[in-house]
Structure 1
Amino acid sequence: MRIVHVVHSYWPAAGGIENVVKALAEGMASRGHEVHVVTGAYGGRPREEVVNEVHVHRVRSIRLGFPDLTYPLYVPRELLRSADIVHGHSQNSLFTVKILEEAKGLGAKTALHFMAVDSLRDHPNPLVRLIGPLYGRRNVKVALKASDLRLVKSHRDAEVLRARYGVETVYVPDGVDEGLLTMPNMAEKFRERFGVHGPFVVYVGRLHRLKGVDVLIRAMAVVRREEPELKAVVVGPGNQGSYLTLAERLGVRDRVLFTGYVDEEAKVGAIDASLALVLPSVSDYAEAFSLAITEAWARGKPVIASAIGEVPYRVKNMVNGILVPPKDLRTLAEAILAIAHDRGLRDKLTKGARPDAPTWDEVIDLLLTLYSSTQLRA
């Protein structure tokens, strides 16, 4: 089968959607399928290359500030026309919707993963809050016309598409790496490598304002008053400058450790050594499906998370984690302290922290079946 994935940015860019498409593309290629990724020409990589058996096509594009506002200046029409399936990722992406529209017009079968549908109303940027909902609704309508197979990874998105657009979807979540389920405990290796020897909570993800890392830092200033030895470890890529300045100003620079981008072993070690994963995101848009939650539960760790996006559908308060209101640093601090101080609560939540996602192999099995479905017609 010739499979084309469409996403506005791809490896070596690091992020949730990039990691997902990479896992799907490489997993499908490893089964003998001819897999292509059409993406924007960013990151200094060659326009055409083969990476782990995946044919990557980086097309000329312009980007208007936000990754989702990437627009393709070239469309590989012959590739799209010859594809057995063109699978786009995120209707919020102008790049993806435009390429998918072209594919549909060329007679290709199309699939689209809808993500964070109509989710810009709570964005921290007032201009995005004003214009974003109009942009979002426009893209949803265009994407619905351009897609034969409508997929979601979020029960929230399934509900929104059903209630507001009268559309039924197929639930295909992101997967969990089987290695996460079998890898030995890496806590001591992480502690030795980074010199972290006391208790800490961990954040795993990009350093982005929508992810609420600043909220976590502010919460740690409250935590320090009661538990001065407790730290927060922040794992992930991005510009640390403003966060380091904030931590310095609040007097918690020594209580917040930034590791930057790390390899898989170090990331798993950080989760293993932590008391809990903290996910303080501030907008529905940021959490269509959290891979970090999947990873934490795969390692048997509870989650403290903002009740936004898909999170409340997965995190059950006081069962497998603690839900807190977004941007509420004091409630977040109280949750962190509760996890640190109450061994009984920690044991209860740890017991409830079990993987809720299929493996990537299972996700790929389902997608390949859906791609071949006789009901999927261009």
Structure 2
Amino acid sequence: MKIVHIHHHYWPVVGGLENVVKALAEEQVKLGHEVHVITSTYGAEDRPRKEVINGVHVHRIKATRLMGYPDLTYPLEHPDVLKDADVVHGHSQNSLFTMKILEHAKKQGVKTAIHFMAVDALNDHPNLVVKLLGSKYSSTMTRRAIKEFDIYMARSLRDKELLMNRYGVRYVHYVPDGVNDELLNMEYLGDWFRKSRNITSDYVLYIGRLHPLKGINYLIRAMKIVSNEIKDSSLIIIGPGDQRPYIDLANRLGIRDKVLFLGYVNDREKIGALDASTALVLPSICNYVEVYSMVISEAWARQKPVIATAVGGIPYRVKNMENGILVPPKDTKALATAIITLLTNKELARKLGARGRENVNSWNQIAKEVLKLYEK
């Protein structure tokens, strides 16, 4: 089968959806299929326009970007690879790039699939302009995708529910993200991580972008409460972004020695950090930034519980006191209480993490499921 994936970014651009497209495409190559990716040159200006990466044929085309928003990337050309494809699989109806390429493929009579994400997720965005204009754009693109394309997939149960109940779509296939087999099978790396970073205290872990909507300031404030209760405790923060406002906050609260910023780390160190942690904490404050949250799957793959706010797709996956703990967004005291609960009850943390692992799929399983949908 000849499969073409579409998204406005691809490797070397690193991000949640970028990683998903790369993992799915490469897994389909392993299953014996001819796989192509159409993407823009944004973020990869130093790479060839055409190249093969781990068996995936990458086509980078000229595009323009409106107002600097990645989702408003507009393609300026269409590769010939679309003509004889068996299926063209677009990722995110919010991506103008994805939608325009899919529409072009549809006009040529090619079977099209759209992977929905962040359906109506801007309705609680704190920026009023983004909330109003972004929500209108998002709902328009969702309706357009429903009208135009052949196969509907949703990355989260939240999106599937909205598509069926709000937009009246009868058949939406829930196809979540998977994890690499390496993450499921790699040996325990917690001791190695602690030794390499000279860490002796119990800690909770944040992994993700350093962005205001991720609620990191609430997490740091919660750690002030935690440190008053448990002296030998700390917070480790992994991810790209500007650390300065959060370092300043930790200094003002007098807990700078309790918060360790590691920035971007490689996969081995991330796994080690998860292994040595008590729990993963996701304190996000709005729906838009938590569509599926791949890092939840990564934590569960290493049998770690998740403490998270009830936003976006999180409450569809994290079940309170079953595989993690749910707290309201922006609630510093509730967040601190949840952290203290798991730091002081390691047996509960172990049980919640073990139950979480039962909800994790490998990329091999996901790729096979997607191929069945193509063939239907």
Tell me which interval the TM-score lies in, with the shorter structure as reference length: over 0.9
Distance (Å, rounded) in 1 between the aligned partners of 2:242 and 2:104: 36
Work out which of the residue numbers 95, 98, 114 in structure 2 matches 1:96: 98
The aligned runs of 1:227-376 (5 Å cut-off) are 227-373=230-376
Deviates more, 1:52-61 or 1:244-253: 244-253
Work out which of the residue numbers 151, 154, 167 in structure 1 matches 2:153: 151
Q: 1:252 to 1:14 in 2, by over 3 A?
A: farther
- SS of equivalent residue, structure 2 residue 83: helix
Q: Paired residue for 1:72?
A: 75
Work out which of the residue numbers 126, 129, 138 in structure 2 matches 1:127: 129
Distance (Å, rounded) in 2 between the aligned partners of 1:164 and 1:220: 39
Q: Is the 8 A contact 1:294 1:355 kept in 2?
A: no
Q: 1:70 to 1:256 in 2, by over 3 A?
A: farther
Distance (Å, rounded) in 2 between the aligned partners of 1:190 and 1:294: 20
Q: 1:368 to 1:249 in 2, by over 3 A?
A: same
Distance (Å, rounded) in 2 between the aligned partners of 1:347 and 1:4: 41
Count of residue pairs the alignment pairs up = 372
- SS of equivalent residue, structure 1 residue 27: helix
Could you tell me how far 1:153 is from its partner in structure 2? 1.9
Q: Paired residue for 1:40?
A: 40
Q: Is the 8 A contact 2:205 2:237 kept in 1?
A: yes
Distance (Å, rounded) in 2 between the aligned partners of 1:281 and 1:66: 21
Distance (Å, rounded) in 2 between the aligned partners of 1:70 and 1:194: 40
Q: 1:249 to 1:48 in 2, by over 3 A?
A: farther
Q: Is the 8 A contact 2:178 2:361 kept in 1?
A: yes
| Counterpart code for 2:15 | G
Q: Is the 8 A contact 2:305 2:352 kept in 1?
A: yes
Distance (Å, rounded) in 2 between the aligned partners of 1:229 and 1:6: 48
Distance (Å, rounded) in 1 between the aligned partners of 2:208 and 2:344: 26
Deviates more, 1:48-57 or 1:216-225: 216-225
Q: Is the 8 A contact 1:155 1:171 kept in 2?
A: yes
Could you tell me how far 1:18 is from its partner in structure 2? 0.9
Unaligned runs of 5+ in 1: 374-378
Q: Deviations over 1:195-234 (max 9, x none)?
A: 2221110112222333222222222223222223311111
Could you tell me how far 1:253 is from its partner in structure 2? 2.4
Q: Is the 8 A contact 1:15 1:206 kept in 2?
A: no
Deviates more, 1:114-123 or 1:199-208: 199-208
- SS of equivalent residue, structure 1 residue 123: coil
Could you tell me how far 1:317 is from its partner in structure 2? 0.5
| Counterpart code for 2:146 | L
Could you tell me how far 1:37 is from its partner in structure 2? 1.0
Work out which of the residue numbers 189, 192, 197 in structure 2 matches 1:194: 197
| Counterpart code for 1:26 | E
Q: Is the 8 A contact 1:221 1:252 kept in 2?
A: yes
Could you tell me how far 1:347 is from its partner in structure 2? 4.0
| Counterpart code for 1:337 | I
Q: Paired residue for 1:376?
A: none
Could you tell me how far 1:124 is from its partner in structure 2? 2.2
Q: Is the 8 A contact 1:152 1:171 kept in 2?
A: yes
Q: Paired residue for 1:2?
A: 2
Q: Does 1:11 align with 2:11?
A: yes
Q: 1:42 to 1:195 in 2, by over 3 A?
A: farther
Distance (Å, rounded) in 2 between the aligned partners of 1:253 and 1:66: 34
- What's the TM-score once normalised by structure 2's chain length? 0.94
Q: Deviations over 1:64-119 (max 9, x none)?
A: 3332222222232x222221111011111122112111211222111011011111
Q: 1:346 to 1:369 in 2, by over 3 A?
A: closer
Distance (Å, rounded) in 2 between the aligned partners of 1:155 and 1:335: 25
Could you tell me how far 1:17 is from its partner in structure 2? 0.5
| Counterpart code for 2:118 | A
Q: Deviations over 1:299-348 (max 9, x none)?
A: 11111001111111111101111001112222111111111123453344
Q: Paired residue for 1:160?
A: 162
Q: Is the 8 A contact 1:199 1:229 kept in 2?
A: yes
- Please tell me the root mean square deviation across aligned C-alpha atoms, in Å: 1.7
Distance (Å, rounded) in 2 between the aligned partners of 1:2 and 1:294: 29
Q: Is the 8 A contact 1:215 1:327 kept in 2?
A: yes
Work out which of the residue numbers 110, 113, 116 in structure 1 matches 2:112: 110
Q: 1:40 to 1:245 in 2, by over 3 A?
A: farther
Deviates more, 1:132-141 or 1:35-44: 35-44
- SS of equivalent residue, structure 2 residue 206: strand
Distance (Å, rounded) in 1 between the aligned partners of 2:150 and 2:265: 38
- What's the TM-score once normalised by structure 1's chain length? 0.93
- SS of equivalent residue, structure 1 residue 165: coil
| Counterpart code for 1:46 | P
| Counterpart code for 2:218 | V
Unaligned runs of 5+ in 2: none
Q: Is the 8 A contact 2:303 2:350 kept in 1?
A: no
Q: Deviations over 1:243-285 (max 9, x none)?
A: 3333333333222212222221111111100000101112212
Q: Is the 8 A contact 1:14 1:237 kept in 2?
A: no
Distance (Å, rounded) in 2 between the aligned partners of 1:156 and 1:61: 31
Deviates more, 1:30-39 or 1:149-158: 30-39
Deviates more, 1:96-105 or 1:345-354: 345-354
Distance (Å, rounded) in 1 between the aligned partners of 2:72 and 2:227: 40
| Counterpart code for 1:116 | A
Q: Is the 8 A contact 1:5 1:37 kept in 2?
A: yes
Q: 1:241 to 1:62 in 2, by over 3 A?
A: farther
Q: 1:28 to 1:253 in 2, by over 3 A?
A: same
Q: Is the 8 A contact 2:301 2:360 kept in 1?
A: no
Work out which of the residue numbers 196, 200, 219 in structure 2 matches 1:216: 219
